[in-house]
Amino acid sequence: MTFRSFQEVNRRLTIPLDSVDIPCESIVRLVPKQLDAVFGSVLIPGQISLLHGPERAPLTMLAHAVAVAAVKFGGKSIFLDSGNNYSPKIARALCRSSAFPERVLERITIGQVMSLHDLEDTAKQVTDMADVTIVVLDSLTGVLNLTGAPGSKGRQRRLFAALEVLRNLVNTNHVHLLMTDHSTKKWSTGKPSPIGGNIVVHGVDSLVRVDRLDVMADAVRLLVERSPVSPPPGGVVVRISANGIKSIAAR
Within-domain flag for 133: yes
Residue-level pLDDT at 140? 97
Q: Look at residues 227, 222, 142, 242 and name the one whose alpha carbon lies nearest to residue 182.
A: 142
Any domain includes 11: no
Each residue's pLDDT, cut to its tens digit, for the chain (251 residues) gives 444 444 444 444 444 434 444 456 888 999 999 999 999 999 999 999 999 999 999 999 999 999 999 998 888 999 999 999 999 999 988 887 666 677 778 899 999 999 999 999 999 999 999 889 999 999 999 999 988 888 788 999 999 999 999 999 999 999 999 999 999 887 777 788 999 999 999 999 999 999 999 988 899 999 999 999 999 999 999 999 988 999 998 76
Residue 225: inside a domain? yes
Is omega for the bond preceding 231 within 30 degrees of 0, making it cis? yes
Q: Which of 26, 51, 3 is nearest to 222 (CA)?
A: 51
Q: Print the domain residue range for 100.
A: 45-247
Residue 74, pLDDT score: 86
Q: Is 190 domain-assigned? A: yes
Cβ atoms 130, 109 nearer than 8 A = no
Q: Identify the CA nearest to 48 among candidates 131, 137, 157.
A: 137
* CATH code, domain with 146: 3.40.50.300
pLDDT score at 99? 60
Give domain status of residue 49, yes or no.
yes
Task: Yes or no: say if 140 and 181 are a contact pair by the CB < 8 Å rule.
Answer: yes
- Give strand pairing partners of 192: 185
The pLDDT value recorded for residue 190 is: 76
**170: in domain:** yes
How much is the pTM? Answer: 0.88
- How many domains, in total, are found in the chain? 1
DSSP 123-170: HHHHHT-SS--EEEEE-HHHHHHTTS-TT-HHHHHHHHHHHHHHHHHH
Beta strands in the chain (DSSP E): 48-53, 77-81, 108-112, 134-138, 176-185, 192-194, 206-212, 219-226, 235-241, 244-247
